[in-house]
Structure 1
Amino acid sequence: MDCETHFNDITTRTQGRFVVSIPLKASPKILGESLGLAKSRFKSLEQKFSKEYQFSRMYKNFILEYEKLNHMQTIGEVSEVNLEEAYYLPHHGILRMHSATTKLRTVFDASARSTSGVSFNELQLKGPVIQDYLVSILLRFRQYKYVVTADIEKMYRLVLVSKDQHKMQIILWRDNENKALSVCELSTVTYGTTSAPFLAIRCLVELGKLCEREFPIISNIILHDFYVDDLLTGFDDIHIAKESCLKLCEVLGSGCFPLRKWRSNFPDIMHDLKEGKLADSSEGLVIGEDDVAKTLGISWMSKTDKLIFHIDVEMKGECLSRGSYPSSLNNSNIWWQGPYWLQESPDLWPKDNKTSIPLPEIKTTLVAVSEFKFPFERFSNLNRLRRCMAFILRFIKNCSSNKENRSFGVFTTTELDNSLKLLVKLSQISSFNKEYNDLKAVNEIDKKSKLLSLNPFMDTSGILRVGGRLQNSNFQFNKKHPMILSSKHHFTKLFFEQEHKNLLHAEPLQLLYNIRETYWPVAARNLARSIVHKCIQCYRLKPKSVQPIMGNLPSGRFLSGFPFQITDTDYAGPFHVLNKRGRGSKIMKGYVCLFICLATKSIHLEFVSSLSTEDFLLALKRFISRRGKPSQIYSDHGTNFIGANRNLKALYDFLTQNECLISDSMNNQGIRWNFNPVQAPHFGGLWEAGVKAMKYHLKRVSGKSNFTVEEFTTLLCQIEAILNSRPLCPLSTNPLDPSPLTPAHFIIGRPLTSILEPVMILEKESRLSRYQKIENARQHFWTRWYKEYISELQQRSKWKTNHGELAEGILVLIKDDKLPPLNWKLGRVTKLFRGSINISRVSEILTNNGTVIRDFSKLCPLP
């Protein structure tokens, strides 16, 4: 049974606290007697008590606290207790005066062998590593704007051990040499046992898993931002930071894991935390202080927001004997915890022991652990990735150098170049692992490899380069043998993005050309296009709006009745007219107000002298007087129309509220006004086409001449007649077919006060009166309208498919015809309005200045 299965099967909880069972790989029966060694070690400890008063006082306070917290229970004196299959833990103390809280660390030595030669630790399963490596946590920690650290107080001791295993965690204790030795059993996970890290961390991970669905941010912090009991996390939003810290306290509190020593580079984050959770007077956190050797003594100073490494290396003099190592490094290799370790090269040291020479530079190499992948995906910026790697390399170099040779301050060009080369190498190992290993081992690659055409080789730094055919050229080495990159690797993507910016947003071909001067990205044309396409700066200069499929025609287009029953209206202009003939005339602006029937495309043109609500209402009254009152009017979102709508509503309210004073026929004849979305002219395609057709004739007749108002009005009437004589459907080539159906067929002869008439088409013409014959002709026009015209509306002339799409939550550029593209506002889609065929064409956008509603044609989703 492995540790994970054992934990899932045995672990329980009592009042929120986890109760675990120590995972054993063998029976405790193989343990021999351990009481004698425990007695001997305790007597040595008491001798130290007698010599060091402060140490003695701190140690006794620690044991007293252990007992008060019920983490330990006394079961009797040594002479009275007889336990089978028990294990007595020797214990000793380590003073750490640099620690901000725990100056004394008591170590329980579960590795001490019993008389059978087996220790308690050898019985235990160690368990897998279930937290991120420290280097990953550190690199991620440095990416955030607001960072927070804390640690769990007494983490191991917050997890209970099942009662039947207490006898395997026995210690001896007395606070006075004159007393008898007492036998005490430890009831919590004990520091110093093999399984302790896994059991404590696994309980923490369990809390993270339990809250994953309800609190995903907190779950991610617990699962990925803890190194043992140390929390190193960060946020880019101050409000999320505050809320997450409070919620994290709550979630961990449910498992009885209190957080302490809170620190942040932004003090405001600490204000909302409960009293007692705040940091003490110290400003730093020692990361992984329970195991300094593994974590290299890394400290973070919150006030200066810097990582500090405490390296205790003493160098006596400048010279060493040949063949010897510095005493501080000898027999204690410096290890980089996690993905890499520092490997020293002893062969570089001189072998003649008779002569002293200056301390040589220790050559170091990074050896990747096979099961670890460098977290490239954690970075969104090449410069930041490059600096992080330079930071790691400098740190390793400083570990192996004396004080005079250590580097501090700003990174040098050499350090940054070395870090870039190492990143290239790591990306090659990740992308071309088989080719890399083949070249390293036998200096050739498989014949089926996709790199075969490049004739790759490995240089002295272990980097794959193109062999190619340019060896005899005079080009530089990097040009002849560029470093190989995979276009699918995240590092290559970051590199392309950086070069695109360095080249002032070059086009794809130029971007690829410049990169190939030093690097050879495999199959990178698509990547170059993708980088340019997704560049926000480039996109803002050439944004692409969303264009849904052409919508279905509104029901008003198929409503048979009198012309202008449902009307669209729009303005065109300005046009210049003369206020009078002869001398002293002045040029004034004028506009054309267009009314168009939604069903028959009949057009009515009115001259308007200004863009005021009053002038529009006068034009509307003239239109109604000659064409009849429409039931609905559609228009753009112009301010003059908005004002008109308010006036019409007041007029309609007046009419309906005073129905006793007007005839019954006027009761329900109010005009309903409909506005299209703001800045969406294509929603009124019918009237936009009418305006275009009107301007076509007007420009050709007027030229550069200026007409008087009367002349201009007469010209509009003539254009109106021409437009109303256009065929509604294609002409037939058969000479026997009737004249084409036009809007004029539906206008001529219709009284403004007509009432609905019975159907006359089925009646014989000889039986009809003259009036009925006229009505029969009108109805005949509508029959042709159904048969000839409506069928022509079936096809979509453009926007035949959807181009692009929008979804709630995405960022968009909002087109503004009055501003250049770089100044267009950014907004976030908060709501989509779906039409009758379940296709969205209008959305609600949240901007810095509030919420606006825009048609899709004005929105450009960011890549």
Structure 2
Amino acid sequence: MDTGSVTSSEEESELEPMIREQRVLLDSLERIMNKMTNETRQGFMPIINHCNESKIFMQHLTKEGYGYKDDLPAHLQEEWKRYREELKVLNTIKVPRHWRHVASEHNAADVLSRGMTASKFAEHAMWFYGPMFLHGSSSTWPAPFIATNEELIIMNPPKVSQPSVMTITKEEDIIYTIQHNNSFNKLLRVIAYMMRFRRKKKYISHTIEFEEIMEARKIVFRNIQNIDFKDDIKHLKRQRETLKGSSINSLSPFLDQNGILRVGGRLEAANISFDSKHPILLPYNDPVVKMILVQIHKDNMHCGPQALLTTSRQQFWILKGKTMARSTVKACVKCTKAKPKLMEQIMGNLPPLRVTQARPFFNSGVDYCGPFKIHYKVRGKKPSTAYIAIFCCFATKAVHLELVSDLTTEAFLAALRRFIARRGKCQVLHCDNATNFVGAKNKLQELQEAIFSDNAKTQILQECNNKEFNLNSFHLVHHTSEDYGKLQ
């Protein structure tokens, strides 16, 4: 089959004149080489020699050091003519084509690709000897596969160019269109890569650096604030104050050197970070702000709403932050699963004195509270310490208060006399053993010595006998008792 001319008649007419400049020669050589390379891909091996000669000719041009528009010497022009004459031989080359289709059942390459056991593979003749029809005459070979135009279109569908359309939106809306999978860190990385693309600068490492992450944070905060606090920022730039009636007036906002809106205040002299002195102002119920709270919540071991709000305010001041912190913890799946159920304690039965009808303060309990400082109007006199004895009725829950000057036995007996004189005699009087003074060791020692010593008990019981009390009416409730310290 004829391969066709390497150079057409039009090309020969263009290349026929004397070539004097390297620019013209290289242009002609490039067109010839393109033609020869395409033919070589189709199996025309003799053209390889001419390709090599053309490369050698180009190396001569480089070695001589001629410029792109310099005139060529006579010997190079003669060598070019000789090379053009040899190219005419390529027009007479005919290469037969022997392309045949081999069905899958006769393809030896499919033996291993489709899998086979070792015993069958050792006896497989096609793998070792090839298809059987190759051992016979060519007349017995399968007919060549000739596809129609419709089949060629189906096998090789034309490529349809699909134009790429890019929608330009507002700069403030870009961060809300990024696919970040609800991760604030991923959002920052995506924006950092976008800034790399915008700068058109070559980076050695694909890893995002710390400075790029910080720059991405500034971009995110500026965009969020430009959406929700747009009017306040404009007014702040013009008149250095926010709009009247704005919801952020009480926060004394200002713009820092990066154009980020921050909370003012009086902590300028505090020895804390700048973010803690002037937190970044963020709006309520913003999707990115929610991601920030979720990240802080996870970084602090799924802390509660109050801890989340306190931690977030070290960097950010979120409007209605308490509400957003509460909703963030409530929406956390792990916190919901790990939240324990509060057990309701079943209260025990009430003691008989609590359910027996009696007059007020017939069955009572007593306890101390204090100490309290008593200040005198007399100039120069130091304030004294006093306590309050609380008498509580078990039946009616009525309360009687008596002022006690100190923790001595006499002071308690005087308070008891005043109580009896006002409320009447008690059948039973309970005391909690004074263990509420455990935290103040010195006071506890005074109370124990003053009230619960043997001498004090003797005096108290003697006073009860004089007032016609039952000797066993004054009870000291043990601290392990079920009714200890409780009125119930």
Normalized against structure 2, the TM-score is what?
0.36
The structure where helix makes up a greater share of residues is 2
The structure where strand makes up a greater share of residues is 1
Normalized against structure 1, the TM-score is what?
0.21
